[in-house]
Structure 1
Amino acid sequence: MAAPLKDFFDERLVRRIANTIAAVHSDFPTEKFVAQSMVGLSKLELLDRGKHVADALAKTLPNDYEQAVDILLRSLDVPTTREDSAMAGFFYLPHVTFVARWGLEHFDASMRAQHALTQRFSAEFSIRYFILRDADRTLKVLRSFANDESEHVRRLVSEGTRPRLPWAVRLPAFIANPAPVLELLELLRDDPALYVRRSVANNLNDIAKDHPDLVVDVCKRWSVDATPERKWIIQHALRWLVKRGFPGAITLLGGAARPKVRIEGVNIEPSRAQLGSVVRFAFDVVSEATKNQNLLVDYIVHHPGASGKTRSKVWKLRRIELEAKGRARLEAKVSLVDRTIRKHYPGTYRIDVRIGATDLPLGSFDVAAPAVSKPRPVKAKRASA
């Protein structure tokens, strides 16, 4: 099993940070920084480890923020052994955290710092504190970043303004009124980098959770003379709405919101399963229409939660072109294997199929915990005469 992501922040990484700083600032107290960073570090989760190391930076760099951040920026150019992994960029998490925690009173210096840092590790977390502090001033900078030659800087414009960015502080003003965010996304909708376009789609997907009709309207406008790349953005921007059967999103993607279909030939096996196993199901979608229908098909599993209350999870299935009076056989499976972010519980599970904006029941199955085998009693040996 792979080591937890938080373990990336260990003494070896802390010493690497210290060495890069000491290379440009000879007065840096390396051992003091390492010692303060390591106190209690092992008890913290990933982002809290970044904050903890940033605190140690604040205690060991010069008290003058602009002098301190200048040292950090000069240290970025120091060669360092870096892991060839997705975690490599997290080396700079303490740096962006330092800017967010101690740079709010030094706007210009902090914007320059985030411009440099985001090209190594995204400043999407740190920029949000400046938005909360002074949205107008920060948005002006982000508008200029939208034309930057670096795709990492351009991506920051979108990712940093996502109203509901995972792991990050939310932006209540943009949740209530996303107009300033949409103005930025207009500048990025045809960005040449997929890296940036994916962020644009995710941002719109966030906004859709609070303003579904607005996002559908934006995507409808963007669909006029859209390139294949922009069509990709639209499809991914609407995925949350499609999974919830929002008619406007389904129609915009060319699907039938209220299809004329019925379900036949449902088969769910086994009808009684155990935790850790897999249940497979199949069904026929039968057309009742006199013309072809483009169908977006998902399925919903209603399952017991930890508290005993029923919870629901929507899963993507297929997109099909169903001929007039035609029939299509679809198959899928429900995994009852526990994952890091998903645990399963005994009880009755129900399956619905969502075709467009219409939910149709398929059936149910029961899930039990695996039987615990009892150890056989050990027979006592007879004593030899």
Structure 2
Amino acid sequence: MDSEAIDCLAHNIALVHSGFDSSAFKELALNNIAPLGFMDRSAHIATALKATLPVKFSDATEVLISTLTLPNLHTERLGLSVFFYLPHTRFVAEYGRDALHNAGEDPFDAAMLAQYELTRRFTAEFSIRPFLIHDFDRTLKQLTQWLDDPDPHVRRLCSEGTRARLPWGARIPQLIKDPTPTLSILDALKSDPSLYVRRSVANHVGDIAKDHPEIAFDLCDRWLSNADKELKWVIRHAVRHPAKQGNATAIALRKAAGGR
């Protein structure tokens, strides 16, 4: 984010929160930001938000949510403009897991609400990961409750956010060790009406294949039964990397799913 984006963020917050000190926020956000990389800039701005938004996390996220634009109706070619919300997700990830930032109250529900709304405009696939790492069961339960959400961005989060080896995201050691807790999510979304979601499912299975190929292959083999052309694409896409490496089972699965 550059100075123009920071000015815009300050303006948006000031519109909905009369006590917001725009000047202080902009000074903190712009101070020493120039040498920082993209991801570090988002963390830097999140720190500035922490210093200038209401002290209580749930109050702060209520302010941030009230500044959001309408949810994205499209799932492709969203461009870079959605990265405007990257500092918002970093704020949630950094300050939404500790009751110390929420007047001693558990901030989990407020953090999940914020991530639900943010993923509809940007993505919460990165910010959900610290919650999975530190509060696995409760976070996974919440994601499972979103599987039937009408918004494909939310359904995709259930798969993409739980990928054990998501590129650019923190790895989830528990799922690298044992991916079986997410298999029910993949089962539920494998035939999702949105290619956006199905592509995430395929990539998720591909992640599993890196550490537990037998689990990934067994899952794909089970899906082959009565699979339509969309699900066959998911299977082919899921095992493409081990197939390229010459894995016989992966090659056989691709062929059975209509590949070469």
Q: TM-score, normalised by structure 2?
A: 0.91
Structure 2 gaps, min length 5: 71-76, 99-106
Q: In structure 1, what is the equivalent of residue 73 of structure 2?
A: none
Q: In structure 2, what is the equivalent of residue 73 of structure 1?
A: 65
Quick one: distance in 1 between partners of 2:205 and 2:174? 16
Quick one: distance in 2 between partners of 1:99 and 1:254? 44
The CA deviation string for residues 135-181 of structure 1, in whole angstroms up to 9 with x for no partner, is 11111111111110100000000000000001111001100100011
Q: In structure 1, what is the equivalent of residue 129 of structure 2?
A: 128
Paired residue secondary structure (1:41)? coil
Q: Where does 1:327-366 land on structure 2 (aligned, <5 Å)?
A: none
Paired residue for 2:38, among 39, 46, 68? 46
Quick one: distance in 2 between partners of 1:253 and 1:74? 47
Paired residue secondary structure (2:193)? coil
Q: In structure 2, what is the equivalent of residue 170 of structure 1?
A: 171
The CA deviation string for residues 24-63 of structure 1, in whole angstroms up to 9 with x for no partner, is 0011111111111111111111111111110100011011
Q: In structure 2, what is the equivalent of residue 362 of structure 1?
A: none
Quick one: distance in 2 between partners of 1:70 and 1:51? 19
Paired residue for 2:95, among 98, 102, 113? 102
Q: In structure 1, what is the equivalent of residue 16 of structure 2?
A: 24
Structure possessing the higher radius of gyration over alpha carbons: 1
Contact 2:236 2:253 in 1 (8 A): no
Quick one: distance in 1 between partners of 2:236 and 2:32? 45
Paired residue secondary structure (1:22)? helix
Q: In structure 1, what is the equivalent of residue 7 of structure 2?
A: 15
Quick one: distance in 2 between partners of 1:85 and 1:232? 23
Q: Where does 1:141-290 land on structure 2 (aligned, <5 Å)?
A: 141-254=142-255
The amino acid of 1:20's aligned partner reads N
Q: In structure 1, what is the equivalent of residue 84 of structure 2?
A: 91
Quick one: distance in 1 between partners of 2:216 and 2:251? 13
Paired residue secondary structure (1:14)? helix
RMSD value, Cα: 1.5
The amino acid of 1:16's aligned partner reads C
Q: Greater share of helix residues, 1 or 2? A: 2
What percentage of aligned pairs have identical amino acids? 47
Quick one: distance in 1 between partners of 2:54 and 2:216? 47
Quick one: distance in 2 between partners of 1:85 and 1:150? 15
Q: In structure 1, what is the equivalent of residue 26 of structure 2?
A: 34
Quick one: distance in 2 between partners of 1:42 and 1:85? 26
Structure 1 gaps, min length 5: 1-8, 79-83, 256-293, 297-318, 320-385
The amino acid of 1:101's aligned partner reads E
Contact 2:13 2:20 in 1 (8 A): yes
The alpha-carbon deviation at position 133 of structure 1 amounts to 1.3
The amino acid of 1:226's aligned partner reads A
The alpha-carbon deviation at position 85 of structure 1 amounts to 6.0
Large movers: runs of 4+ above 6 Å: none
Higher RCO (CA < 8 A, seq sep 6+): 2
